[in-house]
């Protein structure tokens, strides 16, 4: 009888231990996710809270320098970049603003004095990929999806600042990693990985944000550096930013812009 009792108790322990371990693991994961969410919520608050979440549009005027193998190409290009959540982007290029790129929905168009033409598929994919993995998308879309996994990855050094690092993993198994300044909670970088459809190798796209200034109440980075696989490919210097502009009714109309430039 005693032997049976011992065996029964042993069996109960054997069955119980994995359950306890799973419960402990689930508790740890839940606490980690809450910590990650707290970091992201602090970031949103630092950027302006509800006012930032409800920005209608933003215009950034500046100039961009391109890099090849980490070395700058000669000269810079003047840009006026406009963004309207969730899927309207427009870039006016050159001092005369006579070349305009539209990314509206999942379509891309380039407008010149010759009219409009579709943006090449590889360039369109690149722009949409960055939009789909932006900090704004992470906060306004991914964080609201209950299927998104949030992971707090601890402290890291980023651009000589101590940073909190959080990774979001979507239901489609895509990820966005965000580093925020430990003191100010403002974003220092955003990165994501993607697989090249032709060569099948994985690439890392990173943006770093610096030179924050308060503009219309919003902390705004005036320097944005983009890297691919750790190699700098573009640096954007911003001279002027305006939020919540009253844009013309046909501002996002590709054909109307083509007619204006053609005159």
Say which CATH superfamily domain 28-262 falls into: Lipoprotein localisation LolA/LolB/LppX (2.50.20.10)
Could you give the 3-state DSSP secondary structure of residue 95?
coil
Banded pLDDT at 24 (limits 50, 70, 90) = low
Tell me the per-residue pLDDT of 143-161, one tens digit each, with 9 for 90 and over. Answer: 999 999 999 999 998 878 8
Tell me the per-residue pLDDT of 101-116, one tens digit each, with 9 for 90 and over. Answer: 999 999 999 999 999 9
Tell me the per-residue pLDDT of 13-23, one tens digit each, with 9 for 90 and over. Answer: 555 556 555 65
The reported pLDDT for the residue numbered 164 is 98
The reported pLDDT for the residue numbered 137 is 98
Q: Sign of the CA dihedral 242, 48, 134, 224?
A: positive
Residues 212-240 have a mean pLDDT of: 96
> Nearest to residue 207, comparing CAs of 181, 184, 177?
177
Count of CB atoms within 10 A of residue 229's CB? 12
Banded pLDDT at 55 (limits 50, 70, 90) = very high
Q: Is the pLDDT of residue 9 over 60?
A: no
The reported pLDDT for the residue numbered 262 is 84
> Contact at 8 Å (CB) between 193 and 202?
yes
Q: First and final CA of the chain: distance in angstroms?
A: 101
DSSP string for residues in 21-34 = HHHHHHHHHHHHHH
In sequence order, the 6+-apart residues with CB closer than 8 A to the CB of 16 are none
Tokens of 216: 């219309």
The reported pLDDT for the residue numbered 22 is 61
In sequence order, the 6+-apart residues with CB closer than 8 A to the CB of 240 are 59, 60, 61, 62
How far, in Å, CA of 168 to CA of 138, rounded? Answer: 8
Banded pLDDT at 199 (limits 50, 70, 90) = confident
Banded pLDDT at 66 (limits 50, 70, 90) = confident
């Amino acid at each position: 009888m005693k032997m049976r009792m011992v065996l029964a108790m042993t069996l109960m322990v054997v069955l119980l231990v994995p359950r306890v371990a799973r419960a402990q693991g689930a508790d740890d994961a839940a606490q980690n996710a809450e910590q990650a969410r707290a970091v992201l919520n602090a970031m949103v608050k630092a950027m302006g809270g509800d006012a930032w979440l409800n920005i209608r549009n933003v215009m950034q005027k500046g100039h961009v320098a391109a890099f090849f193998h980490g070395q700058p190409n000669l000269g810079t290009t003047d840009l006026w970049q406009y963004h309207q959540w969730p899927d309207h982007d427009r870039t006016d290029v050159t001092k005369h603003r006579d070349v305009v790129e539209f990314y509206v929905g999942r379509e891309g168009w380039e407008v010149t004095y010759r009219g409009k033409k579709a943006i090449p598929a590889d360039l369109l994919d690149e722009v949409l990929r960055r939009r789909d993995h932006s900090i704004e998308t992470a906060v306004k879309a991914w964080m609201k999806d209950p299927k998104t996994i949030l992971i707090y990855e601890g402290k890291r050094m980023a651009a000589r600042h101590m940073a909190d690092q959080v990774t979001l993993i979507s239901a489609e198994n895509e990820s966005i990693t965000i580093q925020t300044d430990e003191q100010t909670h403002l974003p220092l970088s955003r990165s994501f990985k993607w697989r090249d459809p032709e060569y099948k190798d994985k690439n890392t796209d990173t943006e770093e944000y610096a030179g924050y200034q308060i503009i219309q109440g919003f902390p705004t980075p005036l320097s944005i550096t983009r890297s691919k696989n750790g190699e700098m490919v573009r640096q954007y210097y911003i001279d002027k930013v305006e939020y919540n502009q009253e844009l013309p009714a046909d501002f996002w109309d590709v054909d109307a812009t083509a007619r204006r430039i053609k005159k």
